[in-house]
Amino acid sequence: MRLRHKPWASDELKKRDHIVIQNPKEMAGNWKQTFGDYDEIHVEVGTGKGKFLAGMGELHPNILYIGVEKYQSVLYTAMERVEEAGLNNVKLLSQDVADLADFFAPGEVNRFYINFTDPWPKSRHEKRRLTYKLFLALYESLLVKQGEIHFKTDNQGLFEYSLHSFSLYGMILNQVSLNLHESGIEGNVMTEYEEKFSKKQMRIYRCEAKFRN
């Protein structure tokens, strides 16, 4: 992702503290109590510009969606989307995915979304992939029993790696698609990258993986 630096983004994000949560460590275990009695909590790791999260928030007002994105210049665009749509059920965190355990209590999250994450193709960077086993252990610790990961990518290599990683971890795979937009799946909400790639007739890979605990 090529980023255009927005030096003012940090101050603007702080002004929208009803959307961009400024004290996420204090929220662990208290998300529903603070923002409403939502049916579930879904978290997108690497939210980017927020197209997916805002779309999901509009479709499912009974679910609390939380997006985690460390690049503030990108998160600013996501914040604008949420604000313009008037979505009370979408919150954002300007944080690193590696620190998720600081912001959520064990068993507090119902689902994680991983969409078009950096593939980190070099072997020495394997531990940075968001479907690496240590990240899977992190997600599992925060999910409800038999919680799910929904994963989408345009990168075949990352998809194959992730399927292998999920399987080695003992997860159950569902809805595995090698060409999402030809699969007939209903309710798919596209990200910015997905929309761009689909216009170029590129394949989108998707799967759902469930923990056995």
Spell out the alpha helix ranges (H) of the chain: 9-15, 31-35, 51-59, 72-85, 133-142, 156-168, 192-199
Q: Give yes or no: 96 in active site.
A: no
The helix or strand, by DSSP H or E, that contains position 43, with its residue range, turns out to be strand 40-45
Instruction: Indicate if the alpha-carbon torsion angle 114, 150, 105, 57 is positive or negative.
Output: positive
Which of the residues 17, 39, 96, 118 is marked catalytic?
118
Q: How far apart are CA 78 and CA 87, in angstroms?
A: 12
Q: How far apart are the first and last CA of the chain?
A: 35
Give the Cβ contact number of residue 25 at 10 Å: 10
What are the residue numbers of the active site? 118
